[in-house]
């Protein structure tokens, strides 16, 4: 059965960020994707210069109304990422609530982009909108450690803390929470990064169960743009294929990320030359070249089920 996704994210002419990081891999995996560009830039903001336009809440509303007038607003998933405007974010929430009234089974996947490493990189007034309006209507969220701590008001300094934070996020609304990166000490050594996930679901007999997983992924010494968008899209896809198996969904998702990043960094170093740090254009994700890995990723890291 055809699965339709509405992706409301940024768009760049050059490179892979936002909708371009999400749409191609989702389409490769068989999803029909309709994209609304929250911004349209020449390139991502990691370059020295960029030009473009930002979509307003009113303009988003006009686009959505056009979709509705033609009665083509039947979606199975909504996917959102980076935004800097509160009115735009509130309009996204209104659209999702309306779509959920039409289809109670719609799944909203949200990357709550607020900041990282102890500081916010969006305006402060977005925080209460995410906490009080966005997260409560989300079904799957992919915060990093900083964002998870910010949304719950609880610090993470141990795996037990992380589990408690994920439970607090569940209580706010989402049934699936994946903390994409953390500062927890990896068991495999300093060259790895710890991620954690938690998923609630109801068994056929009506009992509610929670599966929690921990996964350690290799670190890469480079700054990539668009990886969060790709991660959220892949988690959408693999939780669709493995709806009650977060362990497998995470293994598939993180393995796709690994293959795309490794291909990207190898190509970037080849272009940059020995001893030279790759530039933003050289570090654009090698998405098209990774098509086979997106479709059928070789598992490179196994998740551990934790209590």
Tell me which residues are annotated as active site: 229
In 3D space, the residue among 209, 234, 229 whose CA is nearest the CA of residue 284 turns out to be: 229
Cβ–Cβ < 8 Å for 177, 163: no
- What tokens does 268 get? 């970037």
- What tokens does 35 get? 């994209």
């Amino acid at each position: 059965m055809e699965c339709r996704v509405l992706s409301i994210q940024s768009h760049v002419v050059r490179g892979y960020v936002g909708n371009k990081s999400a749409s191609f891999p989702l389409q490769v995996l068989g999803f029909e994707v309709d994209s609304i560009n929250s911004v349209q830039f020449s390139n991502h903001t990691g370059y020295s210069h960029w030009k473009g336009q930002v979509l307003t809440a009113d303009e988003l509303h006009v686009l959505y109304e056009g979709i509705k007038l033609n009665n083509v607003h039947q979606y199975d998933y909504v996917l959102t990422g980076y935004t800097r405007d509160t009115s735009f974010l509130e309009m996204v929430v209104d659209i999702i609530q309306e779509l959920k009234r039409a289809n109670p089974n719609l799944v909203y996947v949200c990357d709550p982009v607020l900041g990282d490493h102890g500081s916010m990189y969006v305006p402060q007034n977005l925080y209460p909108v995410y906490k009080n309006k966005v997260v409560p209507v989300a079904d799957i969220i992919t915060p990093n450690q900083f964002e998870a701590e910010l949304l719950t008001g609880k610090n993470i300094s141990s795996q037990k803390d992380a589990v408690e934070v994920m439970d607090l996020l569940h209580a706010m609304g989402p049934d699936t929470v994946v903390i994409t990166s953390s500062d927890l000490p990896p068991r495999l050594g300093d060259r790895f990064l710890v991620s954690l996930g938690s998923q609630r679901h109801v068994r056929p007999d009506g009992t509610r169960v929670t599966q929690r997983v921990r996964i350690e992924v290799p670190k890469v010494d480079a700054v990539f743009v668009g990886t969060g968008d790709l991660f959220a899209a892949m988690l959408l896809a693999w939780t669709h294929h493995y709806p009650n198996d977060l362990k497998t969904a995470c293994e598939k998702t993180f393995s796709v990320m690994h293959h795309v990043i490794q291909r990207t960094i190898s190509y970037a170093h080849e272009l940059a030359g020995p001893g030279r740090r790759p530039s933003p254009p050289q570090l654009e994700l090698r998405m098209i070249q990774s098509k086979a890995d997106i479709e059928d990723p070789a598992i490179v890291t196994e998740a551990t089920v934790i209590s």
